[in-house]
Amino acid sequence: MSSRETHLVELVDEAGSTVGSATVADAHTAPGQLHRAFSVFLVDDQERVLLQQRAATKTRFPLRWGNTCCGHPAPGMTVADAAAQRLGEELGVAGVPLLEAGVYSYFAEDPMTGRVEREYDHVLIGLLPVGTQFRPDPAEVARLLWVSVPDLLARLESDPETYAPWLGGVTDRLVAHLSERSPERSGGK
């Protein structure tokens, strides 16, 4: 895990324009530096989303539940390419087409580790083919859980401290994306 802390991330301004780079460790040391990130939701054919419980060794928000996977593109790398790479590294999944559903900017402090998140977070959604098998990396993922979107929203409301602080915001982008694609909305166009 410590080797990932030396990787470079892309620093951005409030509009998402690149302004430089920093190491993962430096970008997540208080007060933090705004940097590009991504959060992926894998969705199955029943519109359930896959959550992961972050491994105990994570430097930020360990053992909290989050979206399917997340990370940071290296400077010059596309968000989609970086997200596909992390899906492979964390879950052993390859070849899932990803669509961007919006951006969520946030700041969060981890009371357990003292690290911070100050991220310009691209939310990506991938429809998971039926029968996909996972090979989670135990250094990244403690557990996996499929939940319906209504169930996820109820869980976030009833017990927010169990979840990563960005999960509510990225879930809002997911919900907006799914409602835009619903048959009721697109039927009259």
Residue 188 pLDDT grade (very low, low, confident, very high; cuts 50, 70, 90)? very low
Active site residue 69: no
Mean predicted lDDT score pLDDT of the chain: 92
Cα gap 58→77, rounded to integer Å: 23
Percent of the chain with pLDDT over 90: 84
- Among candidate residues 10, 70, 90, 117, the one labeled active-site is 70
- Among candidate residues 10, 90, 117, 119, the one labeled active-site is 119
Answer yes or no: are the C-beta atoms of 38 and 124 closer than 8 Å.
Answer: yes
Q: What is the pLDDT of residue 182?
A: 63
The pLDDT of 110-117, averaged and rounded, is: 92
Active site residue 184: no
Distances (CA, A) of 41 to 24, 129, 135: 22, 13, 17
Instruction: Dump pLDDT digits (tens) for 151-165.
Output: 999 999 999 999 999
Residue 186 clears pLDDT 60, i.e. is over it: no
Instruction: Dump pLDDT digits (tens) for 43-89.
Output: 998 889 999 999 998 989 999 999 999 999 999 999 999 999 999 99
